[in-house]
Structure 1
Amino acid sequence: MAPKLERFVSPGKGNGLRATARIKRGELVYSCEPLACCVSNKLSREVCHHCFTRRETLLRCSQCKTARYCNITCQRQAWSGHKRECKCLRSLLPRIPTDSVRLAARLIFAVLSPSQNSSEELYTLEEHESHLSSVSEQKKQGLSQLASMLELYLQQEAPDLVREMTSLPPSCREPLSLIAKVTCNCFTISDGELQEIGVGLYPSLSLLNHDCRPNCVMVFKGTKLQLRAVRDINPEEELTISYIETLSLTEDGQKQLEDQYHFTCRCQRCDSQDKDGLMLSGGESTWRPLKEALPRLEGLKAESNWQTLLESCSRLLSTVGCDVPEENLYKLRVTDMALDASVHLGHWEEAVGYGEKTLPVYRQYYPDPHPVHGVQLMRVGKLQHYLVHIEDALETFKQAYQIIKVTHGDDHPMTTDLLMKMEECRTEMDQHSSS
């Protein structure tokens, strides 16, 4: 299949990707495996380090005690990429390096292993920007610490590596430059429910430029990244994705883009700040307690302290009541966390109540076919189905399907799961009407 995209120089942005032919909404534009990837440290016990599937029980590597796999097959298939990493991990136990250090090391091992190297990349590792000349002194210090950790981590392999790394491009031999390239160009790998499970480097897709209202979205099947069009795209039109969470104030989004990606967004949405008024609806004195509580609530969520999280969220939401509209960004975030906590605690009635409140707001903030909206609908539909609200569940699943078939495609496990859920609802409704 001829590629539907090509590299070009995008005015004012440097390198970019554009369409070579007309691309229809929902069409798969490009898919690829990463040059290197690793499971996030915080999920290393829950996700297979080869296929990135979540499982209740995983086999543990008997040597490094860190890598985990679904079964012997995954473990064997992972060994060629894991054997050097395994030695490095053993040398540092019980310390585990950060995700970016592990990814940088895996990148070195992948580039030095010709069998894993792809010759079809549109963008080489050497060409990736490190942006070291434009980062603040404070950030450079942080990157230098990561570079020192990378050197320490690689010491076990150092005698062989030093000799082998002479074949790498000059900017990839220098640990600081490599770490800077990795942190600036890696993608977060997410599961079907868009929860982060790892990080990976996909060189060709690092060429994609940002837009706050992009024409493409990225979803993952395991570690394979799929780029899909969410609008019809004309030949020679630039392909764009959003680098940041859609649900953020203009000022916060711009700060993240400047801090992490070193550019200022000048798109129409940023210039008009059209959603900010809605996100901050209600009197500031009434929503400020919600905003101020968020760091503590996020801490409780990170600790999986679901009972305290639910109590805190429900108390805050009942205190502000109707004074703060559902559209308020901080109220929505607190409601979403109350939903998460309710699900983890098995409080299904509460969970569906919180979930249903979020849906009209998600519809306002994610107007395009957006995977985040589709996943939220699917989540609420499953709760409605579990509570035997069959007609509501079918309607919610139908709305989710209209989005997911575009953002994920017909062959994605999420789409298959959704079609199965809709069929279950119809069967149950038929049985009910005939009894």
Structure 2
Amino acid sequence: MIRPLVAVLDDKHISNGCSNCFVCEEDQDDSIPCLIPCKTCKILQYCSQKCMEEDWDMFHKYECSFFLSKSPKIVPGFMRICMRLIFYGRSYPSSLEWNAIKGLKSHLSEIMSSEKKEEIWMLSKGIQNFTNEPNEILVLDLLCKIMVNSFSLLTSSYDIIGTAIDPTISRMDHSCYPNATLVFERNKIALRSLQKISMDQEITISYINVNNTQKSRQDELLSRYYFLCKCIRCKFPEKVESYLVLRNCMSTETFSHLEMLINKAFSEKNINIMRALSMLHRLKGWDAVLYPLNELHKLALIYFLDENRIYNAFCHALFIHLIGNRVFNKYMVDFNPIYVIQKFLLIKLIIFQASENYETQFKQINAKDMMLYVYKLLYDVIKLSYKSHGSSSRFSKRLKKTFEKTGEDISVYDWGRCWQSRLKDDPENLQIKKECLRIEDNFLSEVKEYIEICIINNKFQ
């Protein structure tokens, strides 16, 4: 595991996260300690005196007075990460890391010829004024390098909490069929394999959402990273792109209207999600569980969680689990961290539904079935997490705690103790499999009824 060279929390998390180890409210693996503000600027927060001292010695002593002068306003993260890079370069001008940063591509000429020119130029002037950096080109170059080479700082549950840059990570090439992925452990990054990697094989990661269409992927890579991908998925899209199949199954006019709704749903994330879902679910003769339907269900899941409409969110999570993620996809593995995290979200929703007696909203599902199923699902997901995050990761430990707590909850019932005993003796027990399939069938019936009602009403209520 490595620590990124420079990383900062975003504006949303700077007040509720540690600016050194990056523990924050979204990181629920451990109890969050009472944060300590910087004694001078009061802007940055720390989980301990040790973290405060480490960050002060490395970076904050250079920027604290500037933050104080701008208080209570927060200096934008893009500006903060660039300033810290400048401070690093001054402190370690001959280091391998700084030389590696200088060697990264900036695409300065392309960016300064685009509509981003004015914004970058304004930021560079502000950074120059505070850091007393006389070299305008250096600041512009660093800002452009951050735009092209930075990556999101994530929790172990893949919640975005900031931005980071590191020459080792930034030099890894992109593929829409990556053989590795990044997993975060507070302020450390681990590289986890998604495929068997041979000695002479290049390690690749994905810079973007690989579930997007080939056109969307190419457009995003070209506009943000200034290259066209030539991986196997981009070379032969007709073999794997469900969107191309979709386009061939309807008239040009119908497809154009649907594409407009889908694009609006992805960009605006509002009622267009429901309209696009409704239209897609009406289609006949198309394997509609592939992109973009599955991605729209993910958007709907997030939308309803934000609206605190748990039943709706639960139905979309079930669709993704029972249908969307079970479609054969040679470009994904079941231990992909994103898949594992999606399963854990479903687990939390099932536990919540059962514990709050929400089963009264269902016709064929009861709390007992929910708890039986979720206990087995937790058992399976823990094993997947060993591959996705590592057996000693905080995420895996969190899953184990949830498994133990769920075991305690069901052990007060005879059926719960019997289920635990069967699972312990033989996880592949035929009776366990049959019971899980029965429960899944009931889940699926509920989801299909939910979708049918939504289609009839042409909206998701």
Partner of residue 323 from structure 1, selected from 277, 283, 292: 283
Q: Which residue of 2 aligns with 1:10?
A: none
Q: Which residue of 1 aligns with 2:262?
A: 291
Alpha-carbon separation, structure 1, partners of 2:210 and 2:267 = 22
Paired residue type of 2:144: A
1:386-425 residue pairs with structure 2 within 5 A? 386-388=352-354, 389-425=370-406
Q: Which residue of 1 aligns with 2:336?
A: 370
Q: Which residue of 2 aligns with 1:206?
A: 170
Over 3 Å counting, the alpha-carbon distance change for 1:40 and 1:272 in structure 2 is same
Task: Give 1:379 deviation, angstroms.
Answer: 0.6
Q: TM-score, normalised by structure 1?
A: 0.76
Which deviates the most, 148-157 or 207-216?
148-157
Q: Which residue of 2 aligns with 1:124?
A: 100
Task: Give 1:226 deviation, angstroms.
Answer: 0.9
Alpha-carbon separation, structure 1, partners of 2:150 and 2:62 = 21
Paired residue type of 1:98: P
The superposition leaves residues 283-341 of structure 1 with CA deviations (integer Å, 9 ceiling, x where unpaired) of 5367446415425643xxxxxxxxxx5x7755764576543865253443442233224
RMSD value, Cα: 3.2
Paired residue type of 2:141: S
Paired residue type of 2:10: S
Identity in percent:
22
Q: Which residue of 2 aligns with 1:90?
A: 68
Task: Give 1:106 deviation, angstroms.
Answer: 0.7
Contact 1:87–1:157, Cα closer than 8 Å, also in 2: no
Task: Give 1:77 deviation, angstroms.
Answer: 3.0
Alpha-carbon separation, structure 1, partners of 2:176 and 2:275 = 34
The superposition leaves residues 86-115 of structure 1 with CA deviations (integer Å, 9 ceiling, x where unpaired) of 22223445554433222111111122224x
Partner of residue 123 from structure 2, selected from 128, 132, 149: 149
Alpha-carbon separation, structure 2, partners of 1:353 and 1:73 = 44
Q: Which residue of 2 aligns with 1:229?
A: 193
Task: Give 1:41 deviation, angstroms.
Answer: 2.0
Contact 1:190–1:196, Cα closer than 8 Å, also in 2: yes
SS in 1 for 2:412: helix
Q: Which residue of 2 aligns with 1:303?
A: none
Alpha-carbon separation, structure 1, partners of 2:228 and 2:260 = 30
Alpha-carbon separation, structure 2, partners of 1:187 and 1:294 = 24
Q: Which residue of 2 aligns with 1:332?
A: 294
Alpha-carbon separation, structure 1, partners of 2:291 and 2:221 = 20
Over 3 Å counting, the alpha-carbon distance change for 1:134 and 1:290 in structure 2 is closer
Task: Give 1:421 deviation, angstroms.
Answer: 2.3
Partner of residue 6 from structure 2, selected from 36, 47, 53: 36
Q: Which runs of 5+ in 1 are unaligned?
A: 1-30, 166-171, 299-308
Tell which structure's C-alpha radius of gyration is larger: 2
1:37-116 residue pairs with structure 2 within 5 A? 37-55=7-25, 58-61=35-38, 63-80=40-57, 81-93=59-71, 96-114=74-92
Over 3 Å counting, the alpha-carbon distance change for 1:176 and 1:157 in structure 2 is closer
Task: Give 1:376 deviation, angstroms.
Answer: 0.3
Task: Give 1:265 deviation, angstroms.
Answer: 1.1
Aligned length in residues: 380
Partner of residue 379 from structure 1, selected from 330, 338, 345: 345
The superposition leaves residues 245-265 of structure 1 with CA deviations (integer Å, 9 ceiling, x where unpaired) of 111110111111122222211
Over 3 Å counting, the alpha-carbon distance change for 1:119 and 1:229 in structure 2 is farther
Which deviates the most, 241-250 or 399-408?
399-408
Q: Which residue of 2 aligns with 1:3?
A: none
Over 3 Å counting, the alpha-carbon distance change for 1:64 and 1:195 in structure 2 is same
1:275 aligned to 2:240?
Answer: yes
Alpha-carbon separation, structure 1, partners of 2:38 and 2:210 = 38
Over 3 Å counting, the alpha-carbon distance change for 1:129 and 1:52 in structure 2 is same
Over 3 Å counting, the alpha-carbon distance change for 1:107 and 1:143 in structure 2 is farther
Task: Give 1:219 deviation, angstroms.
Answer: 0.9
Q: Which residue of 2 aligns with 1:21?
A: none
Contact 1:33–1:224, Cα closer than 8 Å, also in 2: yes
Q: Which has the higher strand share?
A: 1
The superposition leaves residues 106-131 of structure 1 with CA deviations (integer Å, 9 ceiling, x where unpaired) of 111122224xx895659712211112
Q: TM-score, normalised by structure 2?
A: 0.73
Alpha-carbon separation, structure 2, partners of 1:333 and 1:267 = 22
Alpha-carbon separation, structure 1, partners of 2:85 and 2:38 = 21
Task: Give 1:375 deviation, angstroms.
Answer: 0.5
Q: Which residue of 2 aligns with 1:27?
A: none
Q: Which residue of 2 aligns with 1:354?
A: 316
Q: Which residue of 2 aligns with 1:194?
A: 158
Task: Give 1:216 deviation, angstroms.
Answer: 1.0
Alpha-carbon separation, structure 2, partners of 1:122 and 1:411 = 32
Following superposition, which runs of at least 4 residues in structure 1 exceed 6 angstroms of deviation? none
Task: Give 1:429 deviation, angstroms.
Answer: 4.0
